[in-house]
Every structure is written in structure tokens, then in C-alpha cells.
A = this chain, B = another copy of it.
């Protein structure tokens, strides 16, 4: 059976006449007449009785009409669904992010995204780089946001922001208020770090040892939150992403120590599966990331380089 023929049959059945179907389909009456007869030939049974005043379905035609209606209703539903996907009125945005990015950088942006595209099913998963890379490769994530990454043929990687690590201390700390601090001095203070394997710890250690600086490591803690709590309690200083402490700085429970001769920066990476076409829902998210309403609009990265 040819579904083009079926469409013509459907139109004739619903309008009750060949000429009616023709005008509905924007083709000529003979075209409909011919196609319909051809279709009846294929079916092997007449679908209409030809009456002087028009066409009347046979029993066979009645049966077929029900199927035709189902088919074209489904087609219409498919078109509607595609239209939704096209304008991101539905779809899925599945993101995997490292702890820092997922907790401090994305939530505000995702909230605005969700507000603008309420039909999209947004999923944010916080996990380490390895898990995120694996899930990207398994095609169960649309985008990954990580600090480091392991080179991988099938993954596309792009620096989308620069993370600045700042030295924090309790407001009552002896260094607080100092504007002439030098990196060496920090080594006299107990320095709290993240656990082995953390991206944050890796970049800190790499930067400092490149300058032959060796901080006194006392504790290693498993999350940015734990670090902040300990530092606020006066346990020492730490190097953390400035995004993780925005709230505490405003609240005054922590302070940043400006170090004159030290800047620790690291690129943040956006990862995606090579050759994978993004859905419209994903494209809209990437748009927001790149536009003013992206990270800048979130008020967190005033002078972010606008790399993709």
C-alpha cells in the first residue's frame, strides 16, 4: 500500500467527493480520480460506490477509513511534536558537571533556562570528570562541564571560562586586611586543601610547586563546603574558586586575601560527543551560555573571556 494513495482515499472519504478532495489537496479532479482508481486496483476491492451525486464508502472503505484516520492523526501528532522540539517547547537538556561548576556556576543559569523553556526536561548530574566523560561517550549526556579532562578522540573539548582561585581566610585572620601579601608568606600558614584526585587540588599543587612553594598542608577535606567551614572557623587558609565563596564574602564570614604575586587560574572545559548534533533544547542552552545572559548575566564572571 502506498500512503500517498491512502491520503487521497482519506480526502475523498472525508469530503465525500472526488472534486472535493481535489480542492482540499490542491490538485486537479482527474488526478484524484486516477490515483483513487489505481489504489482500488492495488487493494483489489472497490472502496467507493459511485453514485450520481457523489461517492459512498463501501464496507471495505469504511474499514480502511478508520485505519487511515489513525495514520494521519498520528502523522499530525508527530508534526506537532516536531514543532515543539524545534522551538524547544519540549526536549531534554542533560548536563553533567564537576562539583564546583555544578554547584556554583550552573544553577542560576539553569534556573533562568528552565524559566524561559519550561517544556524542556533539564537534568543536572554532578560527578567527577571520568564519570562525565564516560557518560558522554555512552551518549547519555548532552554536555559535560569539567575542570580537567582526559584527551579522548570521540570527545570535543572547549575552554568556556577561566576559573580564578583566590586565597581565603577568616575575617579575623592575621593576614586579613593586608594588601601587600606575598606568596611566600602563605607557606607559613596551615593550608587546607581538597582531597587527592580533586581538580582544584591538582591545579593548586601544580601552580605552587612550579614556583617552588610548599604550603603546610594540615587537612584535606572532601568538598568546597567543608573547606569553607573550616577556614571560617580559623583552621587556616585555603585556595578556592572565587565562585564558591561569593555568598560567604557578601555575608562577611570569609575574606579574600589579595596576594600580589600570585594568580592561580585554570580553564574550565565544556565537553561534548564528537559528531553529535545538539537538539534545539541544547542549542538554546549554548546560546544562553554565550550571550550576556550567560555566565556574565549570572553576575559571577564579570570579565569572562567569551570563548565557546
Contact = CB atoms under 8 A, between A and B. Distances in A.
A70 interface: yes
Nearest to A139: B56
Given A67-B81, A74-B71, A82-B45, A58 B4 contact: no
B82 A64 contact: yes
Interface in A52-87: 56, 58-60, 63-64, 67-68, 70-71, 74-75, 77-79, 81-82, 85-86
A169 to B, nearest CB: 47
Given A59-B91, A67-B74, A280-B45, A275 B82 contact: no
A147 B74 CA distance: 50
Contacts of A56: 139
A70 B7 CA distance: 17
A130 B194 CA distance: 97
A1 B71 contact: no
What does DSSP make chain A's interface, helix, strand, loop or mixed?
Answer: helix
B277 A58 contact: yes
A70 B51 CA distance: 35
A279 interface: yes
A82 B59 contact: no
Interface in A15-36: none
A190 interface: no
A275 B50 contact: yes
A1 B79 CA distance: 7
B85 A49 contact: no
Contacts of A277: 45-46, 49, 58
Interface of A: 1, 3-4, 6-7, 43-46, 49-51, 56, 58-60, 63-64, 67-68, 70-71, 74-75, 77-79, 81-82, 85-86, 91-92, 139, 275-277, 279-281
